Structure 1
């Protein structure tokens, strides 16, 4: 068994520490900014020594933002709830529609299946601005503008292709003989899918759901145009911190901390599924 010398272990530990500091520094800095006033943040040169304050978080929770021009009403907590509701519901719907479709594309080879699958994937390639104008017109005609249902529907352009292709690749990695043996035992197609394919594809489905949730959470353009302030997610609601009297950097930092907390916690909880799902060929296809 090959062993490493103390110098190699020291160099490796130093390298890992430097890499972690490089990638974690922006997050740590934003976290520290969220406890500072604008005067402290804009101080030159910047300093790590400051008197912490909870005013930024208090302003976000109460919805009252104090600016140089006076008191400003904001709906950040409503925007945060909107993001959670829209992302969760969109991913749930995307999984209900995308997982059976992915299984069908993986197991049922029919004429035009690859063309249909690539067409669905191409929705991820197209920039949102390409479809935004037609969607706006259609949504106004159908009465879907400024509705949760309309936003959840359009969010499928983000989550459904991602779920479909990741889960499809994972289903293709599952040996078909296992399912055939279960079918020969007298079970139908739906029972095979539910009891054999779904459990074996669990890590891939979890990875696809997590990535889809992050992409849905970070969406900005669709919600900016298709929804009003009371239904917009936190990515759009953060624009309220840019006021005529200046940018409220402390509130922006506090808003970033609160907005990334759900996705960060979800990623930490599901990182085992994410690593396993992506490393075992779930992105093949």
Structure 2
């Protein structure tokens, strides 16, 4: 009797766990599924009440992102989404590359060298992640207007360092600290300088950590909204700001906005799937010794 009660209790617990997992999955995935469905609807189906889950799909919204509309149900002027997509690629790749090139030496110094106020300096770097963006964007806007960096890719790449550089330094610092100091000492005995130790020993051993730092930094840059909203113009808008250009005083192009959202999410999704093994290794690096 007791064994039967215990078995029944375990069954109830398993059902509750699976039910909670299903609800969490539904809560997480449903917004993406809804946007996908919206991107495949015509304007009449999008605004129908009650919402339509069964409809004849169309790819007109996706084609409109590239070739535009030839009059009719949409406005004759349209956002230049291909330009926005290219801007996001240029800015995100440039910002991540710059943050990694400058962050690796800084992270190595914070991980291996001893100097006055090292911990305070590391905390100041991390504090840039806590400060509201408005504290930086207004001075940057005034400065960029004076020096000619407003509405430029270079200006946005430099501004994005406030997003990626502190994160890169702290992530790589933790990965470098997980590498045993004995390996570094052995390399020094063999005649390596600190740069040789970094390039020949530390970096090869830290590749999973560097990979996950690159991927997460790219995602942060790709999803950035506030800085490009204030520091970019129509020629340099990324996809995050470009997507809201489908809202005008005349109408809201819900279908094209949804299609732009799906297309904008694809690079991150494809990149994550391609290097997921590095993400797992990087996030768990040093957890088990």
The question of a shared fold, defined as TM-score above 0.5 by the shorter chain, is answered with: yes
User: Residues 268 and 121 (structure 1 numbering): CA distance in 2 closer, same or farther, change over 3 Å?
Assistant: same
2:107 corresponds to: 102
Tell me by how many angstroms 1:7 deviates. 5.3
What is the 5 A alignment of 1:61-140?
A: 61-64=66-69, 70-140=75-145
CA distance in 2, matches of 1:145, 1:33: 35
Q: TM-score, normalised by structure 1?
A: 0.90
8 A Cα contact 1:87 1:217, kept in partner:
yes
CA distance in 2, matches of 1:276, 1:113: 28
1:145 corresponds to: 150
Cα distance per residue 1:69-109 (max 9 Å; x no partner): 74123211100110011001110111111012101110001
Name the structure with the higher strand share: 1
Residue 249 of structure 1 pairs with residue 254 of structure 2: yes
CA distance in 1, matches of 2:171, 2:242: 31
What is the 5 A alignment of 1:27-42?
A: 27-42=32-47
8 A Cα contact 2:78 2:246, kept in partner:
no
Residue 219 of structure 1 pairs with residue 219 of structure 2: no
Name the Cα RMSD after superposition.
2.3
Which secondary structure state, in structure 1, belongs to the residue aligned with residue 109 of structure 2? Answer: helix
2:195 corresponds to: 190
CA distance in 1, matches of 2:53, 2:75: 29
- Greater shift, 157-166 or 216-225, is seen at 216-225
After TM superposition, the runs of 4+ consecutive aligned structure 1 residues lying more than 6 A away are none
Stretches of structure 2 that go unaligned for 5 or more consecutive residues are 1-6
- Greater shift, 52-61 or 141-150, is seen at 141-150
Tell me by how many angstroms 1:279 deviates. 2.1
CA distance in 1, matches of 2:25, 2:244: 30
CA distance in 1, matches of 2:262, 2:23: 23
Tell me by how many angstroms 1:19 deviates. 3.5
User: Residues 24 and 202 (structure 1 numbering): CA distance in 2 closer, same or farther, change over 3 Å?
Assistant: same
CA distance in 2, matches of 1:202, 1:9: 41
**Aligned residue pairs, count:** 279
Given the alignment, which residue of 25, 32, 57 partners 2:30? 25
Cα distance per residue 1:158-177 (max 9 Å; x no partner): 11000000110111111111
- Greater shift, 68-77 or 195-204, is seen at 68-77
Cα distance per residue 1:199-256 (max 9 Å; x no partner): 1111111111111111111111211121210111011111211122222111111011
8 A Cα contact 2:103 2:169, kept in partner:
yes
Residue 60 of structure 1 pairs with residue 68 of structure 2: no
CA distance in 1, matches of 2:144, 2:269: 33
Given the alignment, which residue of 244, 260, 269 partners 2:274? 269
Tell me by how many angstroms 1:15 deviates. 5.3
Tell me by how many angstroms 1:16 deviates. 4.4
